[in-house]
């Protein structure tokens, strides 16, 4: 059983995306906390460990999401927190960061990677897969 008291943290400097993610995820009964920058998200994480983090890639810099994910995975308290990176970099800048393998995802410090816009069903499926995987690993 998933403990839905732990929040899912969403970090995106676009308030519209934060609102969209919040609505999609809350419909499934999860508690969602949104932030517009990684610093505030990290502060909250020290108070309350999230069950999962969703972060935009491009915020204050082109690689803000990568740096944030690296900080999460590099912290022994949070290394088991799944990270989903979402981005519109391909659409906006013509760059393709799509991981081609598990090794690519590991190099990004991410558990999943999606291009924006992401379908609500795909997002929820990935959240539930990662959260359930974490619970199974905790039990073993």
Which of 107, 65, 59 shows the shortest CA–CA distance to 85? 65
Rounded to whole angstroms, the Cα distance separating 96 from 99 reads 9
Query: Is 2 contained in some domain?
Result: no
Domain of residue 29, CATH code: 3.40.50.2300
Report the domain count for the chain: 1
* Domain region containing 75: 8-139
Residue with tokens 């308030």: 15
Q: Look-up: residue for tokens 């008291």? A: 5
Answer yes or no: is 23 within a domain.
yes
The answer as to whether 117 is a domain residue is yes
| 51 neighbors 3 (Cβ within 8 angstroms) | yes
Residue 87 contacts residue 115 (beta carbons within 8 Å) = yes
In this predicted structure, what is the pLDDT of residue 91?
A: 55
Residues contacting residue 42 through CB under 8 Å, at least 6 positions apart: 68, 71
pLDDT of res. 5: 74
Give a yes or no: residue 51 inside a domain: yes
Q: Is residue 129 part of a domain?
A: yes
Q: What is the pTM of this model?
A: 0.89
pLDDT of 1: 46
Residues 6+ apart with CB under 8 A from 32: 7, 8, 9, 10, 21, 22, 25, 26
The per-residue pLDDT string of the chain (140 residues; one tens digit each, 9 = 90 and over) reads: 455 678 999 999 999 999 999 999 999 999 999 999 999 999 999 999 999 999 999 888 878 999 999 999 999 999 999 999 998 865 555 566 677 788 988 999 999 999 988 999 999 999 999 998 776 665 55
Q: Report phi then psi at 50, rounded to 5.
A: -80, 160
């Amino acid at each position: 059983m998933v403990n839905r008291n732990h929040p899912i943290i969403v970090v995106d400097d676009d308030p519209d995306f934060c609102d969209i993610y919040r609505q999609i995820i809350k419909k499934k009964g999860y508690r969602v906390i949104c932030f517009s920058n990684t610093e505030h998200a990290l502060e909250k994480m020290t108070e309350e460990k999230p069950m999962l983090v969703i972060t935009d890639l491009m915020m204050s810099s082109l690689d803000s999401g990568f740096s944030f994910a690296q900080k999460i995975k590099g912290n022994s308290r949070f290394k088991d927190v799944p990270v989903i990176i979402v981005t519109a970099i391909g659409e906006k800048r013509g760059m393709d960061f799509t991981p081609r393998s598990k090794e690519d995802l590991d190099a990004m410090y991410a558990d999943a990677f999606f291009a924006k816009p992401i379908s609500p069903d795909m997002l929820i499926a990935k959240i539930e897969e990662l959260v359930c995987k974490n619970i199974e690993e905790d039990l073993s």
